[in-house]
Structure 1
Amino acid sequence: MATPASSAPTPSPLTGPVVVPTACYLGVAVPARLADEGARVALVLLALAREHSASLGGLLVAALMVPHVVAAPVAGALADRVRHRRLFHGLGLAAYGTGLAATAWALGRLPTALVLLLVLGAGCCAPLVTGGLTSLLAELLPERALTRAFSIDSTTYNLAGILGPALAAMLAATIGPGAALFVLGAAALAGASAVALLRLPARPPTKHGRRALRPAVLVAGAREIVSNPPLRSVTWASSVGQIGIGALPVVTALLATERHADWAAGGLMTAFAAGAMAGSLTYAVKPWTRTRPERVVLLCLPLTALPLALAACVSGTTLTTALFAMAGWATGPLFSALLTARERYAPQPLRTQIFTLGAGLKSTAAAAGAAGIGALGGLGAAPLLCMAATAQIVAAALGVAQLTHSPRSAGRAGGGSGGGVRDAQDLLPDSSQEVSRNDSGA
């Protein structure tokens, strides 16, 4: 007897044809993000080895990081408009990897200003390594698989955060910092090559061709973030919370010094990153919600704050390590839900721009947190850790305040409210608007 359709088992979102595109995507994301995280350490070590200048190392890292937010609107807008996305993303990752590899040779051989420009150019491609890649998941996978896919994607950031700096330091100690940076550049190039495996069909040609980028196009993503309540809430909440998270490397270094435990500087951050990976995988197995990801973001912020605040009050390093792992665990679902919220509420014509801009804001907030806490280092580790925890509470309160009682309804393709989608589609070529109108009429 045939099994009734109503009693047939529901296929798992990560089985069958979903596995192949997910595996291909990971083949791109993992090496590219390992290179991105490891390069920050390798650049400092290279500057120390060749120029004996820690300040130059800081300038190189800044040159690599600043474009994460400055170039994000341009990179995202281009990615949203190009026809051949595999070619565009592949060339972007290849340029990033080539920039790192070229810097490995150029530092100490070319004028410092030229080296900084080289790193700055690589940094302009960096938004494609973070938010740009994540935005492709909605094109590669069915909607039913996206919540878990975003959780898996968030683990690539955690994995890169754990292994990238460690890999850079290990390679620098064994084969030299220049060779280490070259290997990281080669890893990014390997990710660029794997882009060819992604099933991203070319967008159909438009009636009048692709128009040049106008200022209105470049600010469209920012306008949508400001005007779309759920997007606005998760963007500002996650960015403010990242100020505290970005300060943790400085705080852990102070803790290690105060408690005479040299291992704690790296060990506490490793525990935090490992906890974040565990949280992401937990959320991938059992998502808390599929319809209101912004609630997960706002809930996880205070859940991150509590262990951090407790860690400021205890003295044992073992207990402190466990509390850091607990705080990291809470950031796993937070980041997964943040990615889901961006995809759910972003209008399709602006999706990549919103992903890259959101990632850039988080990177900038983390850098500001590290700089701000570093300037207050004389206060001691415990007060600074309380500040990092307080940032999570402030972020949650800000996120709640930014939400309205009637958030925009969002479909996968449409994103925000009718007004937001119309604004976004006004920026598209005429034929794209005609298609959108025909779809809405159907």
Structure 2
Amino acid sequence: MAARRVRGCPPLVSAIAYLTAATPPRLAVGGITVAIPVLAVEQLGDVALGGLLAAAALGPSIVAAPVVGAVLDRTRRPGAFVAGAGLLMAAAFTISAFLGPVPAWVVAVALAISGLATPFVFGGLSSFVTEGIPNERRAYAMDALAYNLGAVAGPAAVAAASALGNARIATLVMAAAALLGAVGTIPLRLRPLAGEPHASMLRTIAAGFRHIATHRPLALITASGTVSQFGAGGLAIAAVALAIGSTGDAAGGAVIVTAFAVGGLLGALWNSAHPSRLRPELEMGLGFAATGVFTVVAALDLGQLWAVLAIGVSGLFTAPAASAMLLIRKQQSPPTLRSQVFTVGAGLRAAAAAAGAAVAGLAAGVGGPALLAAIGVVWILSGAMLVAYPKHAPPIDGA
């Protein structure tokens, strides 16, 4: 299906319109996992509760991903579902802001419901990006930029709002961001990617899983992208362990993680302005491998500054690699299954990141340098998996 720009708008305006719709809700999700634990400590003095509530906001998205994708593949009004997801998130975050007066179990339920909506604004919205931005490489570079902006600006906005007020204000700011994203979807005028569905919902979900598992190009990039996030998920734990070992101050770990996020944002900005001309599977594999190499370099015992700089450089390659991955997802998915491919892929990456964080926590006793080097090796292996990608695999008809 030919790409459709926002009616009457040139490509640049369409790109801005997409960023306006996609960035705020992703910023809100990135920020709420920081705001909620701080709020739990401020209101109830309970760190453990904060962690459980953050998990409640993220966990359901993994289960909801295939259903959300199937809904978007079948509905005649995808824009209404995406906007509705943003409104649901805004309402849930508003309720969560009043933790303390509002019982913790009510906040947990609200956050879990918001987690069910998350796939609509992550993988779901990504599946429509080329409908507004005709150049595929630029479209997915913009989508990767929206992810990176959210990952950096979300926690930063929470930190600023908390400094100026408290975590309750920060949580309300996240609610406002989700609401802004819902409003921002209106100008996109999202349309169905395929014709009327002929199969039941269950058959649609089964077809999506079957396509992801058996179509070799898609199976490879899904596996590679999932493995890479297993490594990325452990970075914060490794950074804290490294900082404690080198300076005795755990706060240094936040500086290392921030360097990675800033590197990713700079890479996304560059890639959105200068999309690569490499074959997407080559760009993805080299990007993951380069991230791994510089992560291993950061593990060398040369001081905190060295680690910060090396990790910052490693982050530069993540956005171009992610952009290439998103492009392959689109090219190797029929329109009838595209949203499901995107949402399931995003869900698997989220699950892998959570697993990586858990494993890194259990293995923290080996020390920061060893843990960081292991994470780098995982990134390198994820890139090496793309060696098996079939050369010159043509896009699926209609993709």
> What's the TM-score once normalised by structure 2's chain length?
0.92
Contact 2:25 2:178 in 1 (8 A): yes
CA-to-aligned-CA distance 1:267-292 (integer Å, 9 cap, x gap): 222221121122223333443336x3
User: How much has 1:204 moved relative to structure 2?
Assistant: 9.3
Change (3 A) 1:267 1:45: same
Q: CA deviation at 1:184?
A: 0.7
Question: Counterpart in 2 of 1:414?
Answer: 398
Offset at residue 213 of structure 1 (A): 4.7
Q: Which amino acid aligns with 1:337?
A: A
Checking the alignment, whether the CA contact within 8 Å between 1:236 and 1:399 is kept in structure 2 is no
Quote the residue 1:252 is aligned against. 239
Other-structure match for 2:79: 86
Any residues of structure 2 matched to 1:72-83 within 5 Å, and which?
72-83=65-76
1:297 aligns with 2:284: yes
Please tell me whether the aligned partners of residues 287 and 321 of structure 2 are also in contact (alpha carbons under 8 angstroms).
yes
Q: 1:399 Cα deviation (Å)?
A: 3.8
1:18 to 11, 32, 37: 11
Once the two structures are aligned, what percentage of the paired residues are identical? 34
TM normalised by structure 1 equals 0.83
The 8 Å contact of residues 83 and 204 in structure 1, kept in 2 or not, is answered as no
Q: 2: distance between equivalents of 1:213 and 1:98?
A: 31
SS state at 2:316 partner: helix
Is 2:307 the counterpart of 1:314? Answer: no
Name the residue aligned to 2:257. 269
Secondary structure of 1:219's counterpart equals helix
Report deviation, 1:217: 1.5
Amino acid corresponding to residue 316 of structure 2 in structure 1: W
The equivalent of 1:51 in structure 2 is 44
Opposite residue 88 of structure 2, the aligned amino acid is A
Unaligned residue ranges in structure 2 (runs of 5+):
1-8
Q: Where does residue 362 of structure 1 map in the other structure?
A: 349
Match of 1:171, as an amino acid? A
* Structure 1 residue 414, shift from structure 2 partner: 2.6
Q: Deviations over 1:179-202 (max 9, x none)?
A: 211121111001101111113346
CA distance in 2, matches of 1:94, 1:212: 29
Partner AA of 1:126 in structure 2: T
Structure 1 consecutive aligned stretches of length 4 or more whose deviation exceeds 6 Å: 202-205
Whether contact under 8 Å (1:233, 1:294) holds in the other structure is no
Query: What is the Cα deviation at residue 406 of structure 1?
Result: 7.0
SS in 1 for 2:276: coil
Residue 405 and residue 147 in structure 1: after superposition, are their counterparts in 2 closer, same or farther (change >3 A)? closer
**Residue in 2 that maps onto 1:348:** 335
Distance 1:79 1:399, change over 3 A: same
Query: Does structure 1 retain, via aligned residues, the 8 Å contact 2:15–2:142?
Result: no
State the match for 1:335 in structure 2: 322
Tell me how far 1:119 sits from its aligned partner: 0.9
SS, match of residue 313 in structure 1: coil
Structure 2 distance, partners of 1:186, 1:37, is: 14
Q: Deviations over 1:266-319 (max 9, x none)?
A: 2222221121122223333443336x3122112222211111111111322222
Q: 1:227 maps to what in 2?
A: 214
Instruction: Please state how far the C-alpha of 1:384 moved relative to its aligned partner.
Output: 0.2
Task: String of CA shifts for 1:401-431, please: whole Å, max 9, x gaps.
Answer: 4x34574x214x534xxxxxxxxxxxxxxxx
- CA pair 293-204 structure 1, distance change in 2 beyond 3 A: closer
Q: Structure 2 residue aligned with 1:181, among 168, 171, 193?
A: 171
Q: Which residue of 2 aligns with 1:433?
A: none
SS in 1 for 2:336: helix
**Cα displacement (A) at 1:347:** 1.0
Q: What is the aligned partner in structure 2 of residue 288 from structure 1?
A: 276
- Equivalent pair of 2:130/2:139 in contact (CA under 8 Å): no
Match in the other structure for 2:64: 71
- Report the counterpart of residue 113 of structure 1 in structure 2: 105
- The question of 1:61 aligning with 2:45 is answered no
Contact 1:233 1:400 in 2 (8 A): no
RMSD of aligned Cα (Å): 2.1
Distance 2:244 2:56 in 1: 29
Instruction: Give, as a single letter, the amino acid of the residue that structure 2 aligns with 1:330.
Output: F
Q: Residue 56 of structure 1: CA displacement?
A: 1.1
> Quick one: distance in 2 between partners of 1:49 and 1:388?
33
**What are the ranges of 5 or more consecutive residues in structure 1 without an aligned counterpart?**
1-15, 416-442
Structure 2 CA distance for partners of 1:376 and 1:335, relative to 1, 3 Å:
same
CA distance in 1, matches of 2:254, 2:166: 21
User: Could you report, residue by residue, the CA deviation over 1:234-288 in whole angstroms, capped at 9, with x for unpaired residues?
Assistant: 1111110111111111111122222225653222222211211222233334433
Aligned length: 390
Give the Cα–Cα distance (whole angstroms) in 1 for the partners of residues 192 and 212 of structure 2: 27
Aligned partner (choices 155, 163, 181) of residue 153 of structure 2: 163
* 1:234/1:298 contact within 8 Å kept: no
Aligned to 1:28: 21
What secondary structure does 2:311 align onto? helix
Q: Is the 8 A contact 1:37 1:161 kept in 2?
A: yes
Q: Secondary structure at the match of 2:189?
A: coil
Q: What CA distance in whole angstroms lies between the structure 1 residues aligned with 2:103 and 2:268? A: 43
Contact 1:30 1:156 survives alignment (8 Å): yes
Distance 2:108 2:142 in 1: 34
Residue 119 of structure 1: SS of its match in structure 2?
A: helix
Structure 1 residues 230 and 65, CA gap change in structure 2 (3 angstroms): same
Letter in 1 for 2:264: A
**Could you report, residue by residue, the CA deviation over 1:81-132 in whole angstroms, capped at 9, with x for unpaired residues?**
1112221211111111111111212x22344333222111010000112111
Report how far residue 140 of structure 1 moved.
1.4
Specify which of 116, 121, 129 is matched with residue 129 of structure 1: 121
